[in-house]
Amino acid sequence: MVLFIIGLGLGDEKDITVNGLEAIKTCEKIYLEYYTSILGVNKDKLEELYGKKVIEADREMVEETMDQILDEIALDGDKVNFAILVVGDPFCATTHTDLYLRALKRKIEVKVIHNASIVNAVGCCGMQVYRFGEIVSVPLFTEKWRPYSFIEKIHANYKIGLHTLVLLDIKVKERSEENLLKGIY
């Protein structure tokens, strides 16, 4: 069958496209990737709308366990559909592009259902999307880690007269000494 990678849009549970909602209704397992962006509603609202259980996929699951999930999909894929839900649009984060490529490598049929993302919604601030240069991410600094490479990219965009969309790192459930001490794995 199919692995759907479905964009949820930016607002609430009702921002999903009709195509996305129809695809979800055909799926046996539904994963919600929630560490690259913040979902504006509780997962329960999604489950209520879809009439199905949604499994939260944190950073650890996406980066370390997803190969096992893809193997399961490859084995069961001839029987059932699976979905991975993404806040915004599936191809606005390298995480989802990587997931897409790993699935294709396993000969899993993948269908992507696009939706609005911060990349096109930035137009609501009055700036034209085509006047933006390279997008940058600003990581959350720690005592031991303070990268500044994003400053060079912002400056390069400025020098050629382009705006910069700056994404701020979020910490949802990170593997860190602090979280390990709190029992968050």
Structural domain boundaries of the chain? 3-117, 127-182
Q: Which CATH superfamily is domain 3-117 in?
A: Tetrapyrrole methylase, N-terminal domain (3.40.1010.10)
pLDDT at 184: 42
pLDDT at 182: 43
Q: What angle do CA 33, 89, 157 make, to 5 degrees?
A: 115
DSSP 3-state assignment of 81?
strand
Same fold, 3-117 and 127-182: no
CATH fold for domain 127-182: 3.30.950
* Assigned token pair, 37: 């962006």
Divide the 185 residues of the chain into consecutive groups of 10 and give the mean pLDDT of each group. 92 94 96 82 94 89 82 78 93 84 92 91 85 89 86 96 88 52 43
Can you name the residues that pair with 139 across neighbouring β-strands? none
Count Cβ atoms below 10 Å from residue 173 Cβ, excluding itself: 15
Residue 41 is given by DSSP the state: S
CA 162/CA 184 separation, integer angstroms: 41
DSSP 3-state assignment of 16?
coil
For residues 72 and 83, is the Cβ–Cβ distance under 8 A?
no
> Counting beta carbons within 10 angstroms of the beta carbon of residue 131, is it exposed (0 to 12), middle (13 to 18) or buried (19 or more)?
exposed
What's the whole-model pTM score? 0.82
